[in-house]
Chain A
Amino acid sequence: MNVDQIAGRNGSGVGERPILSVSDLCVRLGGVDLVKDVAFDINPKEIVGLVGESGSGKTLTGLSLLRLLPGRSLSGSGRVLLHGDDLFTLSDTQLRKVRGRKISMIFQEPMTALDPVFSVGRQISETIQAHMKYSARQAKALATEALADVGIPSPHLRFDAYPHELSGGMRQRVMIAMALVCEPSLLIADEPTTALDVTIQAQIMDLILAKCARQGAALLLITHDLGVVSSYCSRVITMYAGEVVEDSPVEMSMRRPLHPYTSGLLRSAPRLSPRKSMLPVIRGRVPGASEMPAGCRFAPRCDFRSDPCGREQSISVYDVRRVRCWKHEELKLSGVK
């Protein structure tokens, strides 16, 4: 419904079909919705930020797009259309052909994402041979090229290095090489620089963006860091307690957020308040999975709540933006720019 309208109006060109279209995505644990009714589109080459604090469901959302939810107790439902194919209805064999080929993912901690007992070169070659008809030799050549391409010095020697022999920044470079070697149309990056130092973080973000731009891949950047989002993304989806509360072009969301939670989050960043002043704080805390309030999940912490907030809130379209707050038109919320 509204998602399609947005995609059409989003400036990235009428007639351009979104490469990824997510609707009704839910992740359940027991009887509780950890992720509820998540819907969004990603257009070709678009760079979208998915932000939220711990427990907002942003990582579960990212994992469920690739059907990577851990354990059996978590169950995902909904529709995830990639180029029109519903990933949730594919067989395991079909899914294996999509992962790493059409859609790839990189994680916060590359040490746990890489296999410690195989050399990094071999892990990249394996990915290549799984998806393309390459001989071992061709795969090795391509893998070495991929290592060089992500800025790893002496890639011929590093091909045989094991993950523990590399620094954190180098490991993340390897992950990026592996994720992008088969030229997927979408990269999901879950906190790719959170474990890294700021100067390395800047290098890695520049690398991810440059690679995606060169290959024409779209990027879904999952992060808690609004600074990263404001620097690199064109659109930002904000999640709170398992729901999407706002979906806006970054500039608009920063200048005039529509949802009270987005506004609170933006304003609590120390960078944006005068030195030594008291920072605006969102009172209370994120509800646990078993204590989700009925109606608007943010209402107990919201300064603007009133009776209608106790009702279920649907997400509504507002110009090129979407927001889950019935009051958004009357609230004139402050942003940061």
Chain B
Amino acid sequence: MTSSGVPVLSLQDLAVHFPVGRRAVVKAVDGVSFDVMRSEVFGLIGESGSGKSTVGRAALSITAPTAGAVLQEGVNPQSLSRSQFRKHRQRYQMVFQDPHGSLNPRMTVMQSIAEPIVEMDALDPGKRRARVLALLDCVGLAPAFADRYPHQLSGGQKQRVNIARALASDPKLIVCDEAVAALDVSVQAGILNLLLTLQKDLGLTYLFITHDIGVVSHISDRLGVMYLGKMVEIGPTEEVEERPLHPYTKALLASEPGARRAGDGEGAVLEGEIPSAISPPSGCRFRTRCRFAVDKCVTVEPPWREVEQGRFVACHLV
């Protein structure tokens, strides 16, 4: 059914604005375009306030776009009827940061995982249990977990249940929004292994949103870097990491603990803080913190362009 040419997710000049107070508008996402292809892991990185989570929510039609379009396998979910949309959206799933908050405390693991199956009327009730047990096996949990409640599970186990639930509807896309951020390193390693194994075995597609450079560079094929509602750079993960083009990407990579040494000098650290998304700087939004900013950056917004095969960047100076 899926031709390899149609992206699983296509964001076209996506903008999401939220009104605050009477006049002001927060431009959480402002003109972002990228495609996620089938069986690809697209990593989306940025700091708080960069708009990365809003992109994830818009990608799943949880938040409606203010302008631009979100296409899921070429289909605009907003054009679907209510009942069509209800079934359609089950194929686009999300795994959240807080494994506990995303499970209903009054449902057993069985009930939580079966919910999307029930919602899709995909299986008759007799077969649901078998399906849930198969899913539990997929995520490395014993059948005995089916009848437990969330409070009886550890954080890592809960996140496994969340992943099983996301898998239940045979999803075309899973958005992982900081899915391993709340976990300890040793638990995090297990969940990353699980996500990678599932992706290889089932050919899954992930939009992987995180602030953690180590995590994103481990799991993703391509990497998008966001700053203050704009995409600043996209490229194959390895290339971006080895040779970042945008000054913000450079600063971000250099700030990572472990990449730094005590007394690296002030130059390596980005000064100042992310400006308000209500009144972002004119021209290039990064210019207020950029060491290389010139007059043009103040007046002209840098265009989004492909500077090399597969490498996109928005900066006048590249």
Contact = CB atoms under 8 A, between A and B. Distances in A.
Interface stretch (A13-21, A277-285, A306-314, A322-330): A277-285
Nearest to A209: B262
Nearest to A288: B154
B79 to A, nearest CB: 36
Given A227-B257, A227-B258, A270-B215, A53 B271 contact: no
B189 A285 contact: no
B105 interface: no
A226 interface: yes
A231 B196 contact: no
B186 interface: yes
Contacts of A167: 273
Interface stretch (B91-99, B248-256, B305-313): B248-256
B262 A269 contact: no
Contacts of B251: 199
Interface in A225-251: 225-228, 230-232
B211 interface: yes
A199 B252 contact: yes
Interface in A120-170: 167, 169-170
Given A226-B185, A270-B215, A285 B256 contact: no
B185 A224 contact: yes
A332 to B, nearest CB: 21
A279 B189 contact: yes
A279 B262 CA distance: 28
Contact of A278 (B156, B188, B193, B274): B193
Contacts of B197: 278
Interface string A47-66: 10000011000000000000
Given A202-B270, A268-B188, A285 B214 contact: no
A201 interface: yes
A265 B185 contact: yes
Contacts of B271: 203
Interface string A202-237: 110110010000000000000011111011100000
A271 B273 contact: no
B269 A199 contact: yes
B184 interface: yes
Given A203-B270, A232-B262, A198 B256 contact: yes
Given A201-B257, A206-B266, A231-B262, A273 B186 contact: no
Nearest to A284: B186
Interface in A272-316: 273, 275-276, 278-282, 285-286
Interface residues of B, number: 44
Contacts of B214: 227, 269-271
A146 B257 CA distance: 26
A268 B271 CA distance: 32
A92 interface: no
A78 interface: no
A264 interface: yes
B125 interface: no
A200 interface: yes
A3 B186 CA distance: 29
Nearest to B218: A270
A197 interface: yes
B255 A198 contact: yes
Contact of B190 (A170, A205, A271, A281): A281
Contacts of A47: 262
B162 interface: no
Interface string B260-292: 111110101111011000000000000000000
Contacts of B255: 198-199, 201-202
Contacts of B211: 197-198
Nearest to B262: A232
Interface in B193-241: 193, 196-197, 211, 213-215, 217-219, 237-238
A281 B189 contact: yes
B216 to A, nearest CB: 9
Contacts of A264: 186
Contacts of B186: 53, 264-265, 268, 281-282
Contacts of A225: 257
Interface of B: 47-48, 154, 156, 184-190, 192-193, 196-197, 211, 213-215, 217-219, 237-238, 251-252, 254-264, 266, 268-271, 273-274
Given A197-B274, A202-B255, A270-B219, 19 more contacts: A197-B48, A197-B211, A198-B256, A198-B257, A199-B47, A203-B270, A206-B269, A224-B184, A227-B256, A228-B258, A231-B257, A231-B260, A265-B185, A270-B188, A270-B214, A271-B218, A276-B218, A281-B190, A282-B186
18 contacts: A47-B262, A53-B184, A53-B186, A54-B184, A198-B255, A200-B47, A202-B254, A203-B270, A224-B185, A227-B214, A227-B256, A227-B257, A231-B262, A271-B258, A275-B237, A276-B219, A279-B218, A281-B189
